[in-house]
Structure 1
Amino acid sequence: MVSYARDGCILHLKFIGGVCFGRLLGITKYTTRSDVCNLLDGCNLNLDDIKVEYSRSFLPVSMLIQFPSRDAYEVGLKATRRDRLHRLDMTNRSAWGTLHAYEGRSILLEEVPISATPDDVERFLSGCQYDPSTFRNIFSRGGFPQTVRFVTVSFPSQALAMHACITKDRSFCINKQISVRVLH
């Protein structure tokens, strides 16, 4: 039962079963979905119940969590209050449905030169098993001395995406060093 005070009246709401959605704030770019599962240990979560919300420059803003019940949300709320580094807020189902889930199967190529063509990106990813039709030029920003962009590429599995991240991170594309990061 949850109580809300409004206009001097106390409104009592009782939640009956069903899923509940929360937004976890205070995450860093190195926080993984398994870290959140460990933080919210008593909530009966698996990795499919967590989606990462990214900003336009692909920095993680928050993680959306689908709790199996209201009681599981309350357990998670208590865990984040003890933690004091994270904050858990309730959110609605529409936020969950509109968010794209990368699920560790996509990588982000950071600081790709603006003059790079899809052939240059394919050459950069040589030796990796990926789907070339999934190249997405997401964001360009002004940089010094030249404008750079981000490119996402999808892979058939998490292991192949991690392999590409490990082998291609800090490699060169058109004489520019590229950072590679796995998107969760």
Structure 2
Amino acid sequence: MSLLRAALRSNSTFPTLRECHGFPPLLRATSRIFFSSEAEQPPQDPQAESFLRTPREGLAYGRLLGVRNYTLKTDIIHFLKGCNLTTEDVKVDYGRYFTPLAMMLQFHSYNDYDRAVRHIARNGRLYRLDRTDRAQWDVVTPYDGKTILMRGFPRNALIDEIERFLHGYEYDQTSINIFLRQGETFGNPVKMATVRFRSRTEAMSAFITKNKTFCLNSPISIMVLQ
């Protein structure tokens, strides 16, 4: 009997079957961390996603470099045929002396902009098209072929002389703007004036008939601003 009681006491020290086949609490917690089928995903930042995602809808704007003094809007429209540009979608960005620096282009879709980039790359890279935005488009004055630039007025010429010079043409009298520009080769200041006509036809007519004519014995050169 003493031997039997000793054997029973020794058996009571072994773990039960449930304890052998079950996981200890710490191990069960660990298994939930490493073996869970529901892996945690990093939080998504909506602002970061919108920053990385380029908008592909709406208007797109570009600045076309490589234009020359006599490059016309219609030249660019024909060159970029298939990009759905009209004369209203093209502005000439003039410098201080009214030399064309670039043309601003407004595309009706990003696909049209991409098509223009590919067309320029395929045709010898005569021009360079840089992406720009609406703010740079808005700051460029649209002359639309209705404004003429007159150079060479004598220093004493007043608005009355300019109005007599333009007598017989339909133009906006409030649009006359007289100013001086330093000579491009550091010569004497040149007196200039711009005036806006009611139509492109009137502006072109003034250019044809009045270019190189005289005001107070000074020859006036005229340029139609696009």
Q: For the superposition of Structure 1 and Structure 2, which TM-score range results when normalised by the shorter chain? A: 0.7 to 0.9
Tell me how far apart the structure 2 counterparts of residues 79 and 70 of structure 1 sit (CA, whole Å).
Answer: 14
Structure 1 partner of 2:154: 113
Structure 1 residue identity aligned to 2:117: L
Greater RCO between the two (CA within 8 Å, min separation 6)?
Answer: 1
Structure 2 partner of 1:135: 176
3-state SS of paired residue (1:41): coil
Tell me how far apart the structure 1 counterparts of residues 187 and 157 of structure 2 sit (CA, whole Å).
Answer: 16
> Would the aligned equivalents of 2:180 and 2:189 in 1 still touch at CA under 8 Å?
no
Structure 2 partner of 1:7: none
Structure 1 partner of 2:136: 95
Structure 1 residue identity aligned to 2:84: N
Q: How many residues align?
A: 174
The structure carrying a bigger strand percent of its residues is 1
Instruction: Spell out structure 1 runs of 4+ moving beyond 6 A.
Output: none
Q: Which runs of 5+ in 2 are unaligned?
A: 1-50
> Would the aligned equivalents of 1:162 and 1:182 in 2 still touch at CA under 8 Å?
yes
> Would the aligned equivalents of 1:56 and 1:139 in 2 still touch at CA under 8 Å?
no
Tell me how far apart the structure 2 counterparts of residues 147 and 14 of structure 1 sit (CA, whole Å).
Answer: 48
1:71 aligns with 2:111: yes
Structure 2 partner of 1:33: 73
Tell me the CA shift for residue 123 of structure 1.
Answer: 1.5
Structure 2 partner of 1:149: 191
Q: Percent identity?
A: 39
- Listed one character per residue, the Cα deviations across residues 61-99 of structure 1 (whole Å, up to 9, x for unaligned) are 001000111110011112222242211111111001111
What's the Cα RMSD here?
1.8
Structure 1 partner of 2:4: none
Structure 2 partner of 1:24: 64
1:180 aligns with 2:215: no
Tell me the CA shift for residue 168 of structure 1.
Answer: 0.4
Tell me how far apart the structure 1 counterparts of residues 132 and 159 of structure 2 sit (CA, whole Å).
Answer: 39
Structure 2 residue identity aligned to 1:176: S
Larger radius of gyration: 2
Tell me how far apart the structure 2 counterparts of residues 76 and 144 of structure 1 sit (CA, whole Å).
Answer: 39
Structure 1 partner of 2:98: 58
Tell me how far apart the structure 2 counterparts of residues 25 and 144 of structure 1 sit (CA, whole Å).
Answer: 26
- Listed one character per residue, the Cα deviations across residues 5-62 of structure 1 (whole Å, up to 9, x for unaligned) are xxxxxx9644321110000011112111111100110101111011111001111100
> Would the aligned equivalents of 1:51 and 1:64 in 2 still touch at CA under 8 Å?
yes
State the TM-score, normalizing by the size of structure 1: 0.88
The structure carrying a bigger helix percent of its residues is 2
Q: Which runs of 5+ in 1 are unaligned?
A: 1-10
Structure 1 residue identity aligned to 2:211: D
Structure 2 partner of 1:166: 208
Structure 1 partner of 2:15: none
3-state SS of paired residue (1:152): strand
Structure 2 residue identity aligned to 1:147: P
Q: Cα–Cα, structure 1 residues 107 and 92, in superposed 2: closer, same or farther, change >3 Å? A: same
Q: Cα–Cα, structure 1 residues 62 and 138, in superposed 2: closer, same or farther, change >3 Å? A: farther
